[in-house]
C-alpha cells in the first residue's frame, strides 16, 4: 500500500508517514459504522449531548497539542490554530445544547387526529474534507451529524492525516462508542468505491469545484444526497463613505488569515473610484508590513502555504494575470530558502476574463478592482462563477445592508469579515456548491424529514 506523507511546509521536513488502508479494510470500517449506527440512533439527545460536551472539554484541555499539530501539518500560525480548536469546542457545545430543539417534531394541523413532521437520522455519512482547517472542517460536519443520530466516516486530506487520527482518537477519549466516528486513511481514487457502498447514506464534501463535481456525479448515480461547500472568489465592496483604516485592516486580515487559504477569505476588493487611490495606498502599506515567517512564532502574521505545489500554482496564477494585463504592485516573487512561503501580493487593473478575477486565488494574493459607482461595484462583485461569501464596508449600516442583499452569495457581511458561525447557516450558490452546514438548516441536511399521520 502507498503512504500518506506529512511534510512541514515551514521547513520542508518530513513529519510523518501513514500507511494507507486497503479498500477492503475501509469497507470493514464502513460496515462497523453502520452497525454502530443501529444502536446510536436509539440514544437519547441527552446521552449524545453528554458525550458531545465531553468532546468539547477535550478540545479545551488539548488545545495546545492539537494547535501545534495543525500548524506543523499545514502551516497556519499557532495563534490561529488555537482559535480553530476553540471554535471546535464552541460548535460541539452549540449542538450538544440545541440539537433536541432544532430537531423537535413539528405539529401540523390537518384532518388527522394527529399529524406532524419528525426528523430522523439517515445512517452513515461520508465526509471528504480539506486540509486548510484540519480540525474545524471535520467538527463542523461531525457535531450536527452525530447529534442527529448519524455516524460518520472521514476521508481527510493526505497531508493532514495526523489531525485525522487525532480526531478519531478524540472521539474515543470523549467516550463515543467505537464506530461512531471513523478515520478512513484511503487514497483519493478509493473514494468512489466508498460512496457506492450500500452502507453509505450520504456524502458531504468541502473542497474544490472539480472535486465537488466528481463526488456529486458518483453520488448522484447512486441516488445519494450530497452537501458541497466548494471554492470561492469572495468580493468585498468598499463604498465611498468607508472608514479606510478599518477597511484596510479588514482587507489585510481577510487576505492573509490562514495564510490566504480560506474558501470564504476576502479575495476581490471592489473599491469605489472616490476612495480607490487612498484605499490602495493604505492596503499596500499594511500588506507590506505584515510579517511572514515561522508559524510557530507568536508574532508571525502569516506563514507558509500548505504545500510547495500549491505555492507554485498560485504563483502561476499571478504570472498569468500579469500577462493578461493585470499589474503587480506588491509581492509576486517566490522567496529563496526552504518552505512553501509566498509573499503578500497585490494585483491591480484586474478585469473580468483575467485569472485573478475569474478564478479562486487560494493564497495571500489580493485583487483590487476599481468601480465608478455602487451599481458597477455590485455588478463586478456578482460577475463570478462563485457565490460563497461577500462583504460590504461602509459607515452607513442601512446602505451596507441594502448592498449586501443584492450580492449573489450564501453569506454577505457588513463591516466584518465573513465567518462561519454555528448559529447561522453556511454554504454557497453557483459553483460554490449547494446545501448548508451549521445552524438548524445544517443539522437538517442529513435527516429523513418524515411526515406522520395518525387518523
Instruction: Please write the tens of the pLDDT for every residue from 167-182.
Output: 999 999 999 999 999 9
pLDDT tens profile 85-99: 999 999 999 999 999
Helix (H, G, I), strand (E, B) or coil at 369: strand
Q: DSSP per residue over 85-139, as a string?
A: HHHHHHHHHHHHHHHHHHT--EE--SSSSEEEEEEEE-SEEEEE--SSSTTHHHH
What are the φ/ψ torsions at residue 248 (nearest 5 degrees)? Answer: -75, -30
Query: Homologous superfamily of 235-421 in CATH?
Result: Aldehyde Dehydrogenase; Chain A, domain 2 (3.40.309.10)
- CA pair distance 224, 202, nearest whole angstrom: 5
pLDDT at 2: 85
Domain ranges of the chain: 3-230+432-454, 235-421
* Residue closest to 381 by CA, chosen among 355, 403, 349: 403
What would the grid cell of residue 119 be? 426528523
**Residue among 73, 84, 168, 229 flagged as catalytic:** 229
Three cell numbers, residue 76: 497556519
pLDDT at residue 4, rounded to an integer: 86
Where does 362-455 show beta strands of DSSP type E? 365-371, 386-387, 390-393, 413-414, 429-430, 433-434, 447-454
- Per-residue pLDDT, averaged over 258-270, amounts to 96
β-pair type (268-272, 365-371): parallel
Question: What value does the mean pLDDT take over residues 107-114?
Answer: 98
Q: How far apart are alpha carbons 61 and 68 in whole angstroms?
A: 13
CATH topology of domain 3-230+432-454: Aldehyde Dehydrogenase; Chain A, domain 1 (3.40.605)
pLDDT in tens, 200-212: 999 999 999 999 9
- Sequence-distant (6+) residues with CB within 8 A of 10 are 75, 294, 295, 296, 303, 304, 339, 340
Would you mind telling me the total number of residues written for the chain in this entry?
455
Using an 8 Å Cβ cutoff, are 429 and 410 in contact?
A: yes
To the nearest whole number, what is the mean pLDDT of the chain?
A: 97
Mean pLDDT of the region 10-29? 96
Quick check: is 229 catalytic?
yes
pLDDT tens for residues 414-450?
999 999 999 999 999 999 999 999 999 999 999 999 9
Percent of the chain scored above 90 by pLDDT?
A: 99
DSSP string, 293-330: --TTSTT-SB---S-HHHHHHHHHHHHHHHHTT-EEEE
Cβ atoms of 258 and 421 within 8 Å: the answer is: no
Separation of alpha carbons 389 and 257, rounded Å: 15
Distance, CA of 321 to CA of 369 (rounded, Å): 13
Annotated catalytic residue within 73, 84, 168, 263: 263
Model confidence at 289, in pLDDT bands (50, 70, 90)?
A: very high
Closest CA to 438 of 150, 202, 99: 99
Query: Distance between CA 207 and CA 187 in Å, rounded?
Result: 16
Q: What is the structure's pLDDT at 1?
A: 64
Tens digit of pLDDT for each residue in 118-129? 999 999 999 999
Instruction: Decide: pTM greater than 0.85.
Output: yes
Amino acid at each position: 500500500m502507498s503512504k500518506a506523507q506529512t511534510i512541514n511546509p515551514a521547513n520542508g521536513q518530513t513529519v510523518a508517514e501513514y500507511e494507507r488502508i486497503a479498500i477492503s479494510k475501509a469497507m470493514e470500517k464502513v460496515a462497523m459504522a453502520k452497525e454502530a449506527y443501529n444502536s446510536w440512533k436509539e440514544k437519547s439527545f441527552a446521552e449524545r449531548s453528554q458525550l458531545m460536551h465531553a468532546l468539547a472539554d477535550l478540545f479545551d484541555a488539548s488545545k495546545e497539542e492539537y494547535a501545534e499539530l495543525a500548524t506543523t501539518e499545514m502551516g497556519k500560525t499557532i495563534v490561529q490554530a488555537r482559535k480553530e480548536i476553540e471554535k471546535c469546542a464552541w460548535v460541539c457545545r452549540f449542538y450538544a445544547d440545541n440539537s433536541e430543539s432544532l430537531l423537535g417534531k413539528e405539529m401540523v394541523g390537518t384532518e388527522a387526529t394527529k399529524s406532524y413532521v419528525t426528523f430522523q437520522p439517515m445512517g452513515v455519512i461520508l465526509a471528504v474534507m480539506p486540509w486548510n482547517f484540519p480540525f474545524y472542517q471535520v467538527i463542523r460536519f461531525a457535531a450536527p451529524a452525530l447529534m442527529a443520530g448519524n455516524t460518520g466516516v472521514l476521508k481527510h486530506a493526505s497531508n493532514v492525516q495526523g489531525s485525522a487520527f487525532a480526531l478519531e482518537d478524540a472521539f474515543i477519549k470523549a467516550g463515543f462508542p467505537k464506530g461512531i466516528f471513523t478515520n478512513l486513511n484511503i487514497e483519493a481514487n478509493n473514494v468512489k468505491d466508498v460512496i457506492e457502498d450500500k452502507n453509505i447514506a450520504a456524502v458531504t464534501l468541502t473542497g474544490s469545484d472539480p472535486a465537488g463535481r466528481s463526488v456529486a456525479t458518483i453520488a448522484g448515480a447512486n441516488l445519494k444526497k450530497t452537501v458541497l461547500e466548494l471554492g470561492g472568489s469572495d468580493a468585498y465592496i468598499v463604498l465611498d463613505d468607508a472608514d479606510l483604516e478599518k477597511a484596510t485592516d479588514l482587507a489585510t486580515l481577510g487576505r492573509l488569515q490562514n495564510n490566504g487559504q480560506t474558501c470564504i477569505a476576502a479575495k476581490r476588493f471592489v473599491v469605489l473610484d472616490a476612495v480607490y487611490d487612498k484605499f490602495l495606498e493604505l492596503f499596500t502599506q499594511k500588506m507590506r508590513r505584515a510579517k511572514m515567517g515561522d508559524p510557530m512564532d507568536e508574532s508571525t502574521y502569516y506563514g507558509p502555504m500548505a504545500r510547495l505545489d500549491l505555492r507554485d500554482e498560485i504563483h502561476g496564477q499571478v504570472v498569468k494575470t500579469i500577462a493578461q494585463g493585470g499589474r503587480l504592485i506588491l509581492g509576486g516573487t517566490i522567496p529563496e530558502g526552504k518552505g512553501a512561503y509566498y509573499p503578500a501580493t497585490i494585483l491591480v487593473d484586474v478585469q473580468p476574463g483575467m485569472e485573478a478575477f475569474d478564478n479562486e486565488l487560494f493564497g495571500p494574493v489580493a485583487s483590487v478592482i476599481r468601480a465608478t459607482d455602487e451599481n458597477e461595484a455590485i455588478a463586478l462583485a456578482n460577475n463570478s462563477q462563485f457565490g460563497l461569501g461577500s462583504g460590504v464596508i461602509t459607515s452607513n449600516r442601512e446602505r451596507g445592508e441594502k448592498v449586501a442583499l443584492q450580492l449573489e452569495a450564501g453569506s454577505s457581511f457588513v463591516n466584518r469579515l465573513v465567518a462561519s458561525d454555528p448559529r447561522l447557516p453556511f454554504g454557497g450558490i453557483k459553483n460554490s456548491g449547494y446545501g448548508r452546514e451549521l445552524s438548524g438548516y445544517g443539522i437538517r441536511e442529513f435527516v429523513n424529514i418524515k411526515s406522520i399521520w395518525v387518523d
